[in-house]
Amino acid sequence: MNESDLTARYNYDAFVPEKFGPWLNFDASPPLGRPAPDFPLWRLDGSEMRLSDVWSAHAYSVVEFGSFT
């Protein structure tokens, strides 16, 4: 699947389980209270940082992913 197909699937036109369900993968998430794996993040200006950079600057962090409608 190419990136434009993936983007089209992610930007679904209706908030119904058939459209958002395939994106849910809670079983693969770290258990509550356990550290998340470190991974790259990109700022709005396009510069890269890592999740571990956030952890080193803040005692608690909340990272949101996805779209909000």
- The pLDDT value given to residue 29: 79
Residue with token string 């600057």: 57
Q: Specify if 24 maps to a domain.
A: yes
Does any domain span residue 37? yes
* Number of domains making up the chain: 1
Determine, yes or no, domain membership for 67. no
Of all residues in the chain, what percent carry a pLDDT higher than 90? 16
Quick one: pLDDT at residue 66?
Answer: 64
Dihedral over Cα of 24, 30, 35, 33: its sign: positive
Q: Indicate whether 35 belongs to any domain.
A: yes
The model's pTM: 0.50
Task: State the residue range of the domain holding 14.
Answer: 3-57
SS3 of 32-65: the string is CCCCCCCCEEECCCCCEEEHHHHHHHCCCCCCCC
Tens digit of each residue's pLDDT (9 = 90 or more) over 12-35:
788 888 888 887 887 887 888 887
Please say whether the dihedral angle defined by the alpha carbons of residues 52, 57, 60 and 63, taken in this order, is positive or negative: negative
Q: Is residue 69 part of a domain?
A: no
